[in-house]
Chains A and B, each alone.
Chain A
Amino acid sequence: MLTVQGLTRCFGQVRAVDGISFEVRDGEIFGLLGPNGAGKTTTISMISGVLAPDAGQVLVDGVDIWERPKQVKRMLGVVPQEVAVYEDLTGRDNLVFWASLYGLKGADRRRAIDEALERVGLADRADDRVRDYSGGMKRRLNLSMGLIHAPKFLLLDEPTVGIDPQARLAILDVVREVARGGTTVLYTTHYMDEAEKLCDRMAIIDRGEILASGTLDELTRLAGEGDVLRVSGSFGAEDLRGKIAGIDGVEISRIGDGFALLSVVPEGPGLAQLLPRLLDGEAGIDDVSIQRSNLESVFIALTGRALRD
């Protein structure tokens, strides 16, 4: 089990990660979902022993990584957000180097390299220089380097950023396969659909804080059982309350600066009565959008902003 407790890290005046805690259970795929700049990479850097936290603790199978870094690092495989491969070397050279860092040698190393190359579909390009690879191939090589020593825990930091859909699917398939083999996976992403399809459980992170965590069902319930209406404009809170007064199944979830989120019970009369009132042009409402409950609506419900903002 991977346990993160009160992890905090500041860069100058900026609190990049602010006392976050979560657990990743053995064999599960745990997602850390949040927009760019939410603190995902800083969190992964602290968990993987690259960046010392200002406060908090990371326990891997009960061992603190900052107390016994080498012991813990041997259990971790890390796939960074950057394509961290040597482009002037071949794919195989990169894997030989990486395997050597973990003490693999001889026949064991050759077998591990062949398996890793086969798994990510690069066996036929293994002896080409990486600089001749496509972006997706580099990403797959990046992934294979994290798997070469068959780690117990695999940490993936946005491994599908900037690649084509086909390569993305290939990477997600490998992650699923690895997890099925018993590896515990911590997966960070800002792609809502990836988190929904891949993760058993997840935490939503924004501005260095964990806003919520749980399974997909548990999280979507946070946004309410029904639809979410996002209303934006220059209206006042009292104006909005006046508009929804007397309509059953509609309530204000959140009011922010220039926006409000309304929860509408599905299959009720609310939406049909509400929309004409909101759009009558008298309340200063410029835009109304409807969203089914998903991680996006959860994020909106929790932060008032869309995940992509």
Chain B
Amino acid sequence: MRAMLAIIRRDLMRWRRNPGRLALLLALPLVLAGVFALAFGSGGSGLSVRVLVLDEDDTPLSNLLAGALGSQEDTGPLDVEIVGDEGRAMIENGEASALVVIPEGFTDAFLAGRPAALRLLKNPSQRFLPQAVEEALRAGAVVLSQASRTLRDELDQFHEMLQADAKPDPLVIGAMSTRIAEKLETVADYVFPPVIELEVASAGDGESADDGPTMQAVLALMLPGLAVLSLLFFAQSATRDVMEERDRGLTRHLLTAPVSVGEYLLAKCVAVVIVSALGFGLLIALGVLAGIDWGPPVAVLALLLAAATAASGLLLLLVSLTGSEMSANALTTIVVMVSAMVGGSFVPLPVLPAFLLPVSRLTVNYWATHGFLTLIRDGGGLADVTTEIAVLSTAGLAMLALGAWRLARRIRRGDV
């Protein structure tokens, strides 16, 4: 017991003396979580893309286009603002992500079927957000170009009406509307989905934006899976020590002290579980700071320990199958990454394809992530995650025992 405690203390001390190693393992899932949150999140926590629109053409059509962008009260992450000439100075000062310029002559060129260009000035100090605006604008340009070709006759007639001083004839407008409707009907299947999307945004109906996930909601969805991935990384790093100690002769030296093989391996298992649980615990704490309610502490603690046991067992078993630190690294990395992919660490479990679920259920990631999502999203308690705790604990202890047994057998055979 004394020797076991000494080994556990030493392993924990080694982690304490290597804050870089700890930080790396903690940072990886957080970085991934941040990327996912930025990619899929909106509104809620203040992420926004400020876009300025400068209408130099100043025609009814350009006014319509600028107004369509700028009149929305809530466009989700887009904060569109119609500006005058001061817009150029604003973008130069870095006050927005992009400036969309509708240049003089745009309407004439568009209605006459000539190439018409919108200009986009991007904020050079930003990288991703202006790119997002550019992509959106390209999509818009495609829609306008298709409209220009499909509605050529009607646009010509509309152009003449704009240039004429006289008041437009209602009958002409009615006939033109009918023809436009007929043409749109013929291409409805292809055009309407994007047009409809556009119209929903243009209508100023904030419902769609409100329904979009907030960064906090994305974190709540993604963090459990990524924290489980981090747990596996911690377990991988901790179990890798077993092979490193073997390869460097440290195990052989240790066993010259009054320590049995069983005590050594048990101490290593306990140390791995503690390190993994502490790492996971830190991520839970960070999640709490980000506003995530993980659920009842007792349930969280029980699930955490079960998950840490399972992760440690899996990694110890894998390490016991390998012959060196290098091969242990290769095998454990492959298994951890595949588990993460199919087990809900990279793709949230609720949107995981159904055909993957049977495979997913074979992973630590699935059961641990499923348990935490039950606590976080469904407001579940300890009783709701007993299956997950049972599966993880049982499998974890079985794998720990099998891995330790294999390693002990190897050490006793002299492979130490």
Contacts and interface: CB of A to CB of B under 8 A. Distances in A.
Contacts of A80: 249, 252-253, 256
B13 A93 contact: yes
A49 B9 contact: no
A207 interface: no
Interface residues of A, number: 31
Interface string A96-124: 01101111000000000000000000000
Interface in A129-188: 129, 155
A234 to B, nearest CB: 42
A98 B258 CA distance: 11
A84 interface: yes
A103 B7 CA distance: 12
B10 A45 contact: no
B416 A50 contact: yes
A292 interface: no
A84 B248 contact: yes
B17 A101 contact: no
B13 A89 contact: yes
A84 B9 contact: no
Nearest to A78: B256
A100 B6 CA distance: 6
B414 A101 contact: no
A52 interface: yes
Given A50-B416, A51-B414, A100-B2, A86 B14 contact: yes
Contacts of A74: 258
Contacts of A277: none
Q: Which of B9, B250, B416 has the most CB of A within 10 A?
A: B250
B150 interface: no
Given A102-B258, A103-B2, A88 B18 contact: yes
Interface residues of B, number: 26
Interface in B247-267: 248-250, 252-260
A269 interface: no
A69 B260 contact: yes
Given A69-B260, A97-B9, A88 B248 contact: no
Contact of A82 (B6, B14, B253, B255): B253
Contacts of B416: 50-51
Contacts of A45: 252, 414
B127 interface: no
A107 to B, nearest CB: 17
Given A52-B414, A69-B258, A98-B257, A82 B249 contact: yes
A76 interface: yes
A50 B259 contact: no
B3 A101 contact: yes
Nearest to B257: A101
Given A11-B414, A93-B17, A73 B257 contact: yes
Nearest to A76: B256
B238 to A, nearest CB: 14
Interface string A45-57: 1001111100000
B5 to A, nearest CB: 8
Contacts of B149: none
A70 interface: yes
Contacts of B260: 69-70
B412 interface: yes
Contact of B17 (A51, A89, A97, A100): A89
Interface string B224-249: 00000000000000000000000011
A48 B256 contact: yes
A81 B249 CA distance: 9
Contact of B253 (A51, A69, A78): A78
Nearest to B6: A100
A233 B256 CA distance: 47
Which interface residue of A52, A80, A84, A102 has the most chain B CB atoms within 10 A? A84
B136 to A, nearest CB: 50
A155 B257 CA distance: 12
Contacts of A78: 253, 256
Contacts of A129: 17
B206 to A, nearest CB: 55
A102 B254 CA distance: 11
Contacts of A82: 248-249, 252-253
A88 B9 contact: no
Contact of A102 (B7, B248, B250, B257): B257
Given A84-B249, A86-B14, A86-B250, A73 B256 contact: yes
Contact of A84 (B2, B17, B250): B250
Given A80-B253, A86-B250, A89-B14, A73 B258 contact: yes
A129 to B, nearest CB: 8
A101 B258 contact: yes
Interface of B: 2-3, 5-7, 9-10, 13-14, 17-18, 248-250, 252-260, 412, 414, 416
The 10 closest A-B pairs by CB, nearest first: A82-B249, A84-B253, A100-B6, A78-B256, A101-B257, A70-B258, A73-B258, A48-B256, A97-B10, A50-B255
12 contacts: A50-B255, A50-B256, A50-B416, A51-B414, A52-B412, A73-B256, A80-B256, A82-B249, A93-B10, A100-B3, A101-B3, A102-B258
Given A84-B249, A84-B250, A100-B2, 20 more contacts: A11-B414, A49-B256, A52-B414, A73-B256, A73-B257, A78-B256, A80-B256, A84-B248, A84-B253, A89-B10, A93-B10, A97-B10, A98-B257, A100-B5, A100-B9, A101-B6, A101-B7, A101-B258, A103-B2, A129-B17
